[in-house]
């Protein structure tokens, strides 16, 4: 039986649909860099920003998705991540990540669930990773760390046929992402 934190089939299908036709109403262009266009939108209830990354990268989709799912890679590549592990809770894999910053930025931690699926969407092979913050008693807040409660990541990628990936990633309200 799926827990309340699981992702629905509709959420995976929505990520695929948005890859084909990015919804940019209300999003402001920010910058273009290395084949990606980055958009930003204010999330009014929290006062934080959501970000969308849309573009083509010179990497196969499998590699991009594998990196997004690999905590070891994340720990090696992001020096601020000082602790990260996965554990089973109620039949789901839950990730804990702790990030420590210099004195002028508050250190923070996050508890989240993520799922990966390879989908056939309208005859196209699309790989999707969904992640969102969760709250569980097994992960109490730690003194000196701000708990990132509202984080969400949607990553949808497909091959462009030339060993590159066309993709869209949306990192919402937590202003950090695992990819």
Task: Identify the three-state secondary structure at position 9.
Answer: helix
CATH number at residue 50: 3.30.530.20
Does any domain span residue 179?
Answer: no
Does any domain span residue 103?
Answer: yes
CA distance 41 to 114: 23
Number of domains in the chain: 1
**Residues spanned by the domain of 78:** 9-172
The model's pTM is 0.82
Does any domain span residue 54?
Answer: yes
Does any domain span residue 178?
Answer: no
- Which residues 6+ apart lie within 8 Å of 17 measured at CB? 121
- Which residues 6+ apart lie within 8 Å of 31 measured at CB? 37, 38
pLDDT digits (tens, 9 = 90+) for 67-121: 888 899 888 988 999 999 999 998 889 999 999 988 788 889 999 999 999 999 9
Percentage of the residues of the chain whose pLDDT score is greater than 70: 89
Does any domain span residue 2?
Answer: no
CA distance 52 to 69: 19
Does any domain span residue 59?
Answer: yes
- pLDDT for the residue 176: 33
């Amino acid at each position: 039986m799926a827990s309340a934190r699981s992702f629905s089939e509709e959420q995976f299908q929505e990520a695929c649909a948005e890859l084909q036709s990015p919804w940019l109403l209300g999003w402001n262009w920010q910058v273009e860099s290395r084949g990606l266009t980055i958009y930003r939108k204010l999330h009014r209830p929290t006062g934080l920003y959501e970000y969308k990354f849309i573009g083509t990268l010179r990497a196969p989709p499998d590699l991009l998705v594998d990196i997004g799912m690999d905590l070891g890679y994340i720990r090696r590549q992001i020096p601020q991540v000082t602790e990260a592990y996965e554990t089973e809770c109620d039949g789901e894999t839950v990730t804990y990540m702790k990030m420590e910053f210099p004195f002028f930025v508050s250190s923070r931690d996050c508890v989240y669930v993520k799922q990966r699926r390879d989908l056939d969407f309208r005859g196209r092979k699309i790989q999707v990773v969904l992640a969102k913050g969760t709250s569980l008693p097994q992960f109490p807040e730690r003194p000196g760390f701000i708990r990132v409660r509202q984080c969400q990541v949607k990553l949808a990628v497909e091959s462009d046929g030339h060993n590159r990936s066309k993709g869209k990633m949306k990192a919402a309200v937590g202003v950090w992402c695992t990819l």
